[in-house]
Chain A
Amino acid sequence: MNTDDSSWWPMGDGVLCNAASQTYPSCNTFTHALSFFNKIEGSQATARQTAELLRSVISQQRVPYTNQAGALIDAVKAIGEQLIAANPVELAVGNIVRRVLHIIREEDLSLTTAAIGGLNLSAVSDDENDDDRDGDSTLSAAAVAAAARSTLRPPSLQTLLEDTPVSAAVPQTSSSGGDSEGKSKFSFTAADKSSRSRKLKHDVIEAVNELIQDIVTCHEQIAEQAVEHIHQNEVILTLGSSRTVLEFLFAAKEKKRSFRVFVAEGAPRYQGHLLAKELVARGLQTTLITDSAVFAMISRVNMVIVGAHAVMANGGVIAPVGMNLVALAAQKHAVPFVVLAGSHKLCPLYPHNPEVLLNELRSPSELLDFGEFSDCMDFGSGSGSPLLHVVNPAFDYVPPKLVSLFITDAGGHNPSYMYRLIADYYSADDLVVQRRATAGN
């Protein structure tokens, strides 16, 4: 498989090929580690592990003299593609891969603009950047990048449609005119090259570290907003179990809010039972109900707060099965339906995209004991398929019009605002994490 890939490699560049193929053996072990993600429950852990894997990929990647960002992007894409394929159901993997790609692009852009901005700085720049490495360097870089993007390369249909990775990955050579040519002549002096490449890699790793930090602390950041949403003596309804929801409710409880929680059990996995147990352990007044009792109870509820598996670009939510019923019930009684989601759950894809694996069918044994209905499941008398099928989907899709509010670690948002958030986190070039060669040929 390795040889096949390198022959499909779009760039004729020998250096790049070698660099990419060097990462392959190690990447297999990554894939393997990821393929057992099934055991890890929850997108947060998965997202974090993905980011950590990509960080080590970037740090191992040898950067060529020319087109460093392109090399990094290709390496990340190569592995990201496999990671996504390893666990297509967990959309957080793809999100993190795209986030990292976006980070590389932004850092590269900011370096370029910095180079343009200070035409005269060459050796001095290294020291300066070493100084402000800690903390706000990436932030400022991002700000500069955003500014640079608007000046250097306005988002036009042209750039969105660009298909070759060369142009997409290395904007400074292709899309900017004579100005950048002059710049590249200037900046690619022998002394500057090595320092600049080290700088890019370094900045990217810093930014990825920050991303990991964001993922780790997302529960706390969401939970901080709890008091603004949960008021005294309110009744909150939730379905199944979500770490984010749990932390959110605890945070409100710690701020001395007194409220009651209805927990729908979340058949067939009954994770609501666990949630109820934990809520009671923290001294919250809890009522456990069946999923089918949600409609009957919703009139007493002030707010529905649930977790999500993923938030799509249109503001739709992929959530544990049964959520759509809850959302419809909430709409009927005009109860606010609030979805908590860490920013790693924001997916830049649309739910109608065939690339997106919306659902996962789990084992029928969660519904029936094996062998219990075996007489109905017989492939018996030769007539082919059995008459009884057991389908156990894991997720539901809640359309955006049923969602009142999203609370992410960046604050509360309307479903219609999701596309804007996504534009901040992802670049349009990365929506399809697939090396163009396979798609193009």
Chain B
Amino acid sequence: MGAQKKRAAAAAAAARVSEDPDDLARQPLQAILLADSFTTKFRPITLERPKVLLPLVNVPMINYTLAWLEAAGVAEVFVFCCAHSKQVIDYLENSEWFSQPNFTVKTIESHNIISAGDALRLIYEQNVIHGDFVLISGDTVSNMSLTQALQEHKERKKKDNNAVMTMIIKKSKPSPITRQSRLGTDELFMAIDPNTKQLLYYEDKADHSKGTICLDKMLLAENPSISLHNDKQDCYIDICSPEVLSLFTDNFDYQHLRRHFVKGLLLDDIMGYKIFTHEIHSSYAARIDNYRSYDIVSKDIIQRWTYPYVPDVKFCGNRATKLERRGMYRALEIEQSRSAQVGSFTVIGYGTKIGSNSKISDSVIGEGCTIGSNVLIEGSYIWDNVIIEDGCELRHVIVCDGVIMKAGAVLKPGVVLSFKVVIGERFVVPAYSKVSLLQQPTVHDSDEELEYADNSSGTVEFSSIQGTADQSNGEMTSESSEAHKPKLGTGGVGYIWSICEGGQEEEWRHSVAPIPEDKLTELSEAMDDDQELVTQDRTALSTSGELISDSNASEGDDNEDSKDDSVYFEKEVEATFLRAVEENVKVDHVILEVNSLRLSYNMTSADCAGAVFYSMMKLAIKTPHSSAIGLLTLYPSPFSMVASNAYPIYLSGELQQNTANIITTWQKLLKSYLLEIDEEIEIILKFEEMCLESAKEFSPLFARILHILYDKDILQEDAILRWADEKEGADESDKVFVRQSEKFIQWLREASEEED
């Protein structure tokens, strides 16, 4: 009955399709699978085996992609092979994918292709794609249903012939420290029209340090509303119309799918082609781009987010595996010592032997491995036929097929051991190092554009593997081992690759090891900084905030921000002032600069006066005093006490002199902001505040400096008197300075009375 129901539904769907006037809908769905990522991120492993055949939880990656395509209703897949094409084709021919009913896999092979753009151009020339197709690379894991996205794509296409592509996106956490949804890739910014879901802007290489992104203002002018996201993740699954291929042919400089093609289409509005997005929510889609995403996707698979593509469900001829308690997957024929501890979220492959007292957790162990006793394996990926002798320690590493680790060897986090490497006894491989039997290719140029795997060199290197492999199988000839000192301990075979420039920074970002503690804090600090920057200059970069072009920043934000703003303003003014002093800038120019700051921060002139005064006083403190040091030597005992308090030491007279000098020099600057009595009071209040908090050195001098300010005509007697009056009702603690300057105020009062 269930089958009947399905059939009825299918019939209904068919009926609906046949109602469409155009026959396009009836075309069997095709897909292009790029079995080459055209990058070198998985080196050195990819020198010997193509990336798509690397095991992901003991199943070659390409099987996940093919199984998903098959389940999603794709009828014909063109697998484009480039680097190591022979291995890929051999694998596919021996797999069951070639013998599927209703699902054909065809391979296209080419050796002189260095980018995805070239590959698509070649496919266009072969003229095999007839309708809409799915463009995907062979390292993508997904379980989403294509039906809805496909339908949306077709409907859009019917309405608007220029809608050539639908990009699948997924929500992720914007935080860089959340690992589950972040795949070690750069932060991605997208502008999307919330109504039509059209993609308007795509930036994956945003300059993080500036904390800003630049949008074309036409974008805001042309679209009634756009939403800007930094919490979306690109799944690298695209539904394309056949036009995409011809676009690649027309623009022969398009190489990279995202960097060139997508950005090219978005910027170039002559043709008017449009890209749309489709967001998936509960289903899973992710691409393995680097070692970190390899780690994260593996863990997602083990935690069953990719169901039904999980180890214990047979989806592509994988070995029967049983899921036991606490997420432990075990294949058959495992020999495990009773005292061995296998922890949760661990996969153990067919025929593996585990010795006594070994501890394994959060790891994937391949088939036919031999693990000795007292071995510690944590968060690691161990492929097939690896031999690990007693007492080894492996934490967060990738170990490829056929590796032998002699007793007591230790792998630090982030290490990658390529095929058939031998690690000597008790050798400690340093963190983040990559070890291969092949020597590191001489750095041709690690320029961005040349990062594509160079195939010609790939084959050359491949032949050299044979050499080294043979050598390792046979007796190690002494001259060859002496030529390059055995760096891997006694009996070790392989080369440790030097970390390329820019290295350490990138290494931790892209390795399987968890992010080190200090980097984590650094990241979270950077994030806080970002947020501050955002609030500071109001670039409306708030997470996925909707930007509606005709409404201004709301007033509510203003009040919240004003406190921060005034702090920033003060700092800016101080910096300007100090620069002016150092570089002897004319007073008029300084006034101009401070004025412009005032406008940009939307401050009153009272704020300016306060800030300028503040910076002048700071300067007075900072100015060095030769005499102070002399006095120190004269009277060592009392002053050393003060010195231990870590305060700069000034003699009050000296400081007063300094202050007087600075005030005389810069009185014009200060005066230009003292338009009314209010500003003068502001200065006094500011001064008072400084004496209490940031510059306590001034507190004994308060009355005298007040006098100086009066003498220089900066403060008028009205201002001082009014300040004194205001303070009359204040707390005792607030009145310290009023009392200190009581005499002066008294004198002022008398003077004014006399005048009257």
Contact = CB atoms under 8 A, between A and B. Distances in A.
Interface of A: 28-29, 32-33, 35-36, 38-42, 44-45, 48, 85-88, 219, 243, 247, 357, 361-366, 369-371, 374-375, 377-382, 384-385, 389-390, 392
Contacts of A378: 178-180
Given A370-B305, A371-B181, A378-B180, 7 more contacts: A38-B315, A363-B307, A365-B307, A369-B171, A370-B281, A384-B379, A389-B303
Interface string B170-194: 1111010111110000000000000
B306 A363 contact: yes
Contacts of B601: none
A375 B178 contact: yes
Contacts of A247: 1
B181 A379 contact: no
Contact of A40 (B3, B362, B378): B3
A28 B2 contact: no
A366 B282 contact: yes
B521 to A, nearest CB: 11
Contact of B1 (A85, A243, A364, A392): A243
Q: Is the interface of A mostly helix, strand, loop or mixed?
A: loop
Interface stretch (B320-328, B485-493, B535-543, B675-683): B320-328
B344 A385 contact: yes
A87 B314 contact: yes
B282 A382 contact: no
A37 B313 CA distance: 11
Given A247-B1, A365-B283, A371 B304 contact: no
Given A369-B281, A379-B299, A364 B304 contact: yes
Interface string B370-402: 000000001100000000000000001000000
B345 A385 contact: yes
Q: Please list the 6 inter-chain residue pairs (A to B) with the smallest Cβ-Cβ separation, ordered nearest first.
A: A363-B307, A374-B180, A371-B181, A42-B2, A45-B3, A365-B282
Interface in B644-692: none
B2 A369 contact: no
Nearest to A359: B323
Number of contact residues on B: which range applies?
A: 35 or more
A51 B379 CA distance: 44
A361 B2 CA distance: 22
B99 A361 contact: no
A363 B173 contact: no
B242 interface: no
Find the residue from A219, A243, A377, A382 having the highest chain B CB count within 10 A: A382
6 contacts: A35-B314, A38-B313, A243-B5, A363-B305, A381-B517, A385-B345
B343 interface: yes
Contacts of A219: 1
B525 to A, nearest CB: 16
Contacts, number: 127
Q: Count chain B CB atoms within 10 A of each CB in A48, A219, A364, A366 and give the residue with the most.
A: A364
Interface string B24-50: 000000000000000000000000000
Nearest to A390: B303
A87 B308 CA distance: 12
Contacts of A35: 314-315, 317
Nearest to A371: B181
Contacts of B2: 40-42, 44-45, 243
B95 to A, nearest CB: 11
A278 B317 CA distance: 38
A28 B314 CA distance: 13
B180 A29 contact: no
A44 B327 CA distance: 30
B295 to A, nearest CB: 8
B282 A370 contact: yes
Contacts of B307: 362-363, 365
B360 to A, nearest CB: 11
A374 B178 contact: yes
A393 to B, nearest CB: 11
B744 interface: no
Contacts of A366: 282
Contacts of B173: 371, 374-375
B282 A379 contact: no
A384 B322 contact: no
Contacts of A385: 343-345, 361-362
B230 interface: no
Nearest to B173: A374
A380 B179 contact: yes
Nearest to B378: A384
B180 A28 contact: no
B314 A374 contact: no
Contacts of B100: 32
Which residue among A371, A384, A389 has the maximum number of chain B CB atoms within 10 Å of its CB? A371
B100 to A, nearest CB: 7
Nearest to B284: A370
Given A42-B2, A87-B314, A379 B362 contact: yes
A339 to B, nearest CB: 18
Contacts of B327: 389
Nearest to B346: A385
A41 B101 CA distance: 20
A47 B180 CA distance: 39
Contacts of A384: 343, 361-362, 378-379
B300 to A, nearest CB: 8
B65 to A, nearest CB: 16
A154 B445 CA distance: 83
Nearest to A376: B180
B334 interface: no
B231 to A, nearest CB: 9
A392 B172 CA distance: 22
Nearest to B344: A385
B281 A85 contact: no
Contacts of A29: 99, 101
Contact of B99 (A32, A36, A44, A382): A32
Contacts of B313: 38
B179 A357 contact: no
Contacts of B96: 28, 32
A371 B171 contact: yes
Contact of B304 (A36, A45, A87, A362): A362
B63 interface: no
Contacts of A87: 314
A437 B469 CA distance: 39
B253 to A, nearest CB: 36
B520 A381 contact: yes
Given A32-B100, A370-B284, A85 B179 contact: no
Give the one of A41, A357, A370 with max B CB within 10 A: A370
Contacts of B303: 364, 377, 389-390
B71 interface: yes
A40 B4 CA distance: 11
A44 B1 CA distance: 8
B125 to A, nearest CB: 34
Contacts of A380: 177, 179, 514-515, 520
B277 interface: no
Given A86-B314, A364-B305, A377 B180 contact: yes
Given A38-B313, A39-B71, A48-B3, A365 B284 contact: yes
Contacts of B281: 369-370
B196 to A, nearest CB: 24
B143 interface: yes
Contacts of B295: 379
Contacts of A41: 2
A247 B295 CA distance: 48
A241 B234 CA distance: 36
Interface string B511-541: 0001101001000000000000000000000
Contacts of A86: 314
> Which of B99, B173, B304: most chain A CB closer than 10 A?
B304
Contacts of A390: 303
Contacts of B514: 379-382
A88 B304 CA distance: 17
